[in-house]
Chains A and B, each alone.
Chain A
Amino acid sequence: MSIATDVEPSFLESENTLASWLFTKDHKRIALLFFASITFFFFIGGFAATLIRLHLANPEGLLQPAMYNRMFTMHGIVMVWFFLIPSIPTTLGNFFIPMMIGAHDLAFPRVNLGSWYVFNLSGLVLLYALIMGGIDTGWTFYTPLSTNYASGYVFAAAMAVFVNGFSSIMTALNFVVTIHRLRAPGMTWMRLPLFVWGIYAVSLVMLTATPVLAMDTMLLAVERFLGVGMFDPTRGGDPILWQHMFWFYSHPAVYIMILPAMGMVSELITCYARRPIFGYAGMTMAMMAIAIVSFFVWAHHMFVAGISVYSAIVFSLLTFFVAVPSAIKVFNWTVSLHKGVISLDAPMLYALGFVLLFTIGGVTGLMVATLAVDVPVHDTYFVIAHFHYIMVGGTVSAFFGGLHYWWPKMTGRHYPELWARFAAILTFVGFNLTFFPQFILGYLGMPRRYYTYPAEWQPWNLLSSAGASILAVAYVLPLVYLGWSLLYGRRAEGNPWRATGLEWQTPSPPPKHNFETTPVVTTSPYAYNPEDGSYVTQDGTAYA
């Protein structure tokens, strides 16, 4: 086997024409293609965010009101559909799911490649809408503002979201089928790494939520394009129906963002604490529970929107139920540090940052789930801060953690550890400085989507803007040093972190079809022994 490994070139080197990348069926290459796409959109969305924070540094602002409105709309749409939702699944998931379950590729490689093309197609449609002048409806497209009043390219933007959904569905379908059908011998469900569970749960949510949004945007586009009534109250329509269907998708979408991050962090904590995860079965059940219960809570975005009081009570109660599995997970991650051998490498710093920020986002989620408290803070900066703690503090931290963790495997090069730790700490500091003041602003009563505000709120806004500039540096920094490491980084061996997952039992970077022979799995995923530092990889090899 070792001879064969020497002979077969890595997936990066096996063939390097443009066509070999654009028409590749290799999940690892497709993952890198996705990487390029979502990095591009991350910086577009980040650019808009930077402008927003610059603008809000003082009440007079920087941009014209109409331009400001277009900026936050663009920030929302790009970040939600073109970065956060695809981020972990299409890149890290695409690259590592087959490797972690011991498969040679995803079940449907052509569908996988198609997903990337569809994603870029929807991205082009969105860019067209943005370049032609953008839209000013907010990413939620609430009717009748979006259908009858907003100027701009609402139709094109809605179509971009519609087409983007196909990409989500294609990717998710691939994962579900692959995880069901292509696990290596011995890889039972209770031996799956938690990242695989996270991706499985998220795929389930994507598959069942996205079609409803697709139909909703479809009807919106029809109404906007043809000028017929569907959600228009003057023609008998119900604007709140748009919101019901929108949030039927967009609430689970929050879990689409966070579930893979939860899986990711479980990998990181076990590897850098060198001990098994505390309560593996509980973790898997919690993730599946979150995936399913996330569909029962959508109307908590609508407590003040004019739904019936009875309905609001039902949804509030259900929302508290979805918080229980999240609480279990936080508890388990924390206890997983107990009696470990903890090294604070960059991925672990990101993971610990994730747990803290997710906890803050989670407990403030309890506050907005409480009906009476949601009444004053709904649609204020309190909610903005809350969901950024989950999506940016949570998902983006986990994404960066995973990116660093697997960087040697993906590229065959080590990232510079000191710089990476610095960036991780900077992210944490910058993030809190940006978003914590927004909790205060929110309870003081600053509504979201305001291009100007009373002068008395300026100190908090200024603080937030200052934090945002730190955060911007912390996000650009990895781009620089990771890029540098591609050329000058130290060569990485197969398993530099001495981790147990199957993906590490290949050379770095892995060969084209991952494994020479299909591995046979004999152990649970995190067979680390903190007492003597030994560990057993999933294919059964024991190391001292």
Chain B
Amino acid sequence: MPSAAATLKPEIQFATLDQQGETAQLGIWVFLATETLFFGALIFTYYIYRMSYPEQIAHAAKDAVLWCGSVNIGLLLTSSLTMVLAINAAAQGRRRELVFWLVATVALGVIFLGVKGYEYYLDYKDHVVPAANYVEKPGEGPAGEMFWVFYFVATGLHAIHLSTGIGLVLYMLWRVSRGEITPAYYAPLEVVGLYWSFVDVVWLFLYPSIYLVGRS
């Protein structure tokens, strides 16, 4: 056994490692509640405007690249799966499997960002990037531009969150290599997993808001 696990003690304010791990989980859940409100407020502004300019925004939203968004939702759902399998592997002490699933998670995240980047490129060619090369299309009015502002703010913030997630998973890989993630104490990995899955959930709501509503 690596020595780190044998000498692992809870921090001074905790009685047991279990208490420490569960407290960390509670902490990240509370943090995710604030994230819910953060993205929820953004979606709130979007729907206020969408309520006011239903046709113009629906018109603008049809220019969002549906296949990119759909591929990405698939990628993220899959990454949530690989993440949970990584946690299971950690809890059950299967280290090679753990590393494999973590690498897979990072890979899926990176592909997501790649697809997103390509989508931005397509958007740029379509002249829908506000403040860069936006050209108002007939029938959209100023509300069209507001849609694209929302689109870039929302997807941009999501991409920042996802990049943070990728960084955290890489950090976890490093800790795994140092033997610090063991069946006795893998709370850090669980915390990262919760964050990762939540970033996935954000996309579950952004996806229909941006790509689907008003398509028909």
Contacts and interface: CB of A to CB of B under 8 A. Distances in A.
Interface string B21-38: 011101100110111111
A118 interface: no
Contacts of A223: 149
B41 A212 contact: yes
Interface stretch (A15-23, A229-237, A426-434, A449-457): A229-237
B37 to A, nearest CB: 4
B48 A241 contact: yes
Given A173-B27, A245-B45, A98 B13 contact: yes
Chain A contact-residue range equals 35 or more
A317 B42 CA distance: 28
Nearest to A170: B31
A3 interface: no
Interface stretch (B140-148, B162-170, B182-190): B140-148
A235 B38 contact: no
Contact of A228 (B44, B143, B149): B149
B149 A229 contact: yes
A215 B42 contact: yes
Contacts of B49: 236-238
A279 B91 CA distance: 48
A208 B34 contact: yes
B194 to A, nearest CB: 14
A120 interface: no
B45 A241 contact: yes
A498 interface: no
Contact of A222 (B48, B141, B153): B153
Nearest to A185: B15
B45 A107 contact: no
A490 interface: no
Contacts of B24: 108
B141 A104 contact: no
B131 interface: yes
A226 B131 contact: yes
A236 B142 contact: yes
B19 interface: yes
B52 to A, nearest CB: 8
A248 B45 CA distance: 13
Contacts of A210: 34
B41 A211 contact: yes
Interface in A197-212: 207-208, 210-212
A236 B53 contact: yes
24 contacts: A104-B12, A104-B13, A105-B13, A109-B13, A111-B27, A173-B31, A181-B23, A207-B30, A207-B34, A208-B34, A214-B38, A215-B38, A215-B42, A216-B41, A219-B45, A222-B149, A229-B149, A230-B149, A236-B53, A236-B141, A238-B52, A241-B45, A245-B41, A245-B44
Q: Please give me the 9 A-B residue pairs with the lowest Cβ-Cβ distance, nearest first.
A: A236-B142, A211-B38, A226-B131, A211-B37, A215-B41, A105-B13, A235-B142, A228-B130, A212-B41
Given A173-B27, A228-B134, A229-B149, 9 more contacts: A103-B13, A105-B13, A108-B27, A109-B13, A207-B34, A208-B34, A214-B41, A237-B142, A245-B44
